[in-house]
Amino acid sequence: MNIQQRVLPSESCSLSATLHPVLQRVYHARGLTQDSDLKLELSQMLPVSRMKGVIQAAELLCETLCEEKLILIVGDYDADGATSTALAMLALKVCGATAVSYLVPNRFEFGYGLTPEIVELAAAKSPGLIVTVDNGISSQSGVERAGDLGIPVLVTDHHLPAGELPPAAVIVNPNQPGDSFPSKHLAGVGVIFYVMAALINLLRARGWFDQRGLKAPNPADWLDLVALGTVSDLVPLDRNNRVLVSQGLRRIRAGRCRPGILALLEVAKRAHAGVVASDIGFALGPRLNAAGRLEDMGLGIECLLTESGQAARCMAQELDRLNQTRRSIEQTMKSQAEQALEQLHLQAEGALPAGLCLYDEGWHQGVVGILASRIKERYHRPVIVFAEGGEGILKGSARSIDGLHMRDLLERIDASSPGMILRFGGHAMAAGMSLSAEAFPRFKHAFEQQAAEWLEPAMLEGVILTDGELMPSDLNLTLAQALRDGGPWGQGFPEPLFEGCFHLRQQRVVGESHLKLRLAADEGGWTIDAIAFNQLPVPDRTRRVRLAYRLDVNDYRGLKSPQLIVECIQSTP
């Protein structure tokens, strides 16, 4: 793995001199050059009216509310889908909806999206309107079936559309053709947030709340859910998403959030008052996702919907148990995958394909996405991992690297071999798909070949971009806290990462596979603690190491101290 410093933009930086010089450097490297770029107040959010279809969606929802027909939310089975579903349910209820319900497909029975089978299930409830959240843009046949049954569909989604849009009554998706909305990176929960904000604006203008004696809701009250879904879905944190996430985090820190979010933080042993985006990504998101991966996302949605703190704690504990089970399954699958890749490595005399396509009949369908991410991180190649989907069908989850657009690659394969891929969808860095088991060898060959054509050899060499070196005097609690508070950090707006050489004083393995280090900046200087997750010990003879690391705050029993979180460790002379 190559450790390289980020190249600063050529544009001059005029950030306030009151900012720590390290933070100035970090922000400048991410394209922030003036103080106004740092403002993340809600007033900086892009206007609701700028999104294509959002006004028509509000009118359709208003019409359905007036007719007192059932509004059925059809969500996805991940954290983005769960938060989107919960937000839609909560918003419609406080708007006075007399009939609103949700349906989340069991991934093992129905697969992803608004399929014709899901529509048949929905039709049994006699809905006046189906609203998809975090899905639907590729549900051509499902929307058509709903039309056959006389059920209008409002599609709200953020995934990239295929060549033909579904024949829905209204589509709200910032990535649909003709939408000039500047932020193309909203998560599904961000899209439904905009739709519900537009609905409230419309209802307020028509006197809906006054006529019914209802208090007009404030959409900002749901930003805790927006932050949770946005960070969990790993969408790029552009300016608009950073506004939404920042405002959501503020509400969580103040305790003004869903009881289920507080309960998830509690079982994850995170204090809500100091929560940051990484706590969502590493603690909340995985526990919420565990329900959809192993059983049914209904548990996660109910955890977010309940008003009872006690009920939320019970459900959060069950989600924590499911997440522990998920981790055990993941570890077994990861070991099996690495053994298979090691054998492939030997057979190929040291060369691995540009794209890795893996399948084992014993792998769990709900965990293949995480396994694909782990394999991608280790081998720095685009990866697709398949598992049995039943009835001779394989379900795959894909993860990509910078420079290769995964959905475009799948579209190219589909165009070259029509019918080989039964279904696919997604975006640049992640996608899902299904194909028949008998087509796997052909697809594997096509994927490896297409990846080799699109990727230059240099792109397969892992590069860690850092924000340069820190002075020993900078390795202190003040800067560590400033960096922690300087976010929200995440996909597309990465947490500050630094590089430097240290003297290795001590090392020991803690937990199952984590490396606890004691480091010194110089031969006789003070020392600092560091931890490297999932890292083997360095050779005993090593006395000096080069690190890529994050400067973080270690809070142990209320005592705070600076700590290095090591991303990469290399022996050095």
Domain with CATH 2.40.50.460 in the chain: 464-571
Question: Both tokens of residue 85?
Answer: 């579903």
Residue 310 pLDDT exceeds 80: yes
Question: Both tokens of residue 485?
Answer: 């508070």
Computed over every residue of the chain, the mean pLDDT equals 92
Stretch 451-463: mean pLDDT, rounded? 89
Residue 124 pLDDT exceeds 60: yes
Which are the contacts of 376, defined by CB distance < 8 A and separation ≥ 6? 382, 383, 399, 400, 401
Radius of gyration of the chain, Cα coordinates, nearest whole angstrom: 24
Crossing angle (nearest 10°) for helices 188-205 and 239-253: 80
End-to-end CA distance of the chain: 17
97: confidence class by pLDDT, cuts 50, 70, 90: very high
What are 373-420's pLDDT values in tens digits? 989 988 899 999 999 988 899 999 999 998 899 999 999 999 999 999
Residue 41 pLDDT exceeds 90: yes
Least confident stretch, 11-15, 355-359, 502-506: 11-15
The predicted structure's pLDDT at residue 541: 76
The predicted structure's pLDDT at residue 163: 79
- Which one has a higher pLDDT value, 426 or 208? 208
- Which one has a higher pLDDT value, 557 or 398? 398
What are 257-266's pLDDT values in tens digits? 999 999 999 9
What are 476-486's pLDDT values in tens digits? 999 999 999 99
Stretch 233-248: mean pLDDT, rounded? 96
CATH of span 352-460: 3.10.310.30
Tell me the longest C-alpha to C-alpha distance in the chain. Answer: 78
The predicted structure's pLDDT at residue 512: 72
Least confident stretch, 91-105, 285-299, 337-351, 435-449: 337-351
The predicted structure's pLDDT at residue 108: 63
pTM of the model: 0.90
The predicted structure's pLDDT at residue 538: 84
Report d(CA 334, CA 340) in Å as an integer: 10
SS3 category, 15: coil
Which is nearest to 86 in space by CA: 222, 234, 231, 288?
A: 222
Report d(CA 488, CA 31) in Å as an integer: 15
The predicted structure's pLDDT at residue 130: 98
Which are the contacts of 413, defined by CB distance < 8 A and separation ≥ 6? 420, 421, 443, 446, 447, 450
Residue 118 pLDDT exceeds 90: yes
- Tallying the residues shown for the chain, one arrives at 573
Domain with CATH 3.10.310.30 in the chain: 352-460
The predicted structure's pLDDT at residue 391: 87
Domain with CATH 3.90.1640.30 in the chain: 44-318
Fold classification of 464-571 (topology level): OB fold (Dihydrolipoamide Acetyltransferase, E2P) (2.40.50)
Stretch 216-223: mean pLDDT, rounded? 97
Whether residue 457 is preceded by a cis peptide bond, meaning omega within 30 degrees of 0, is no
Residue 349 pLDDT exceeds 60: no
Residue 345 pLDDT exceeds 90: no
Q: Nearest 5°: CA angle at 303, between 432 and 242?
A: 60
CATH of span 44-318: 3.90.1640.30
The predicted structure's pLDDT at residue 378: 87
The predicted structure's pLDDT at residue 102: 95
What are 509-548's pLDDT values in tens digits? 887 778 999 999 876 678 999 999 888 888 877 788 999 9
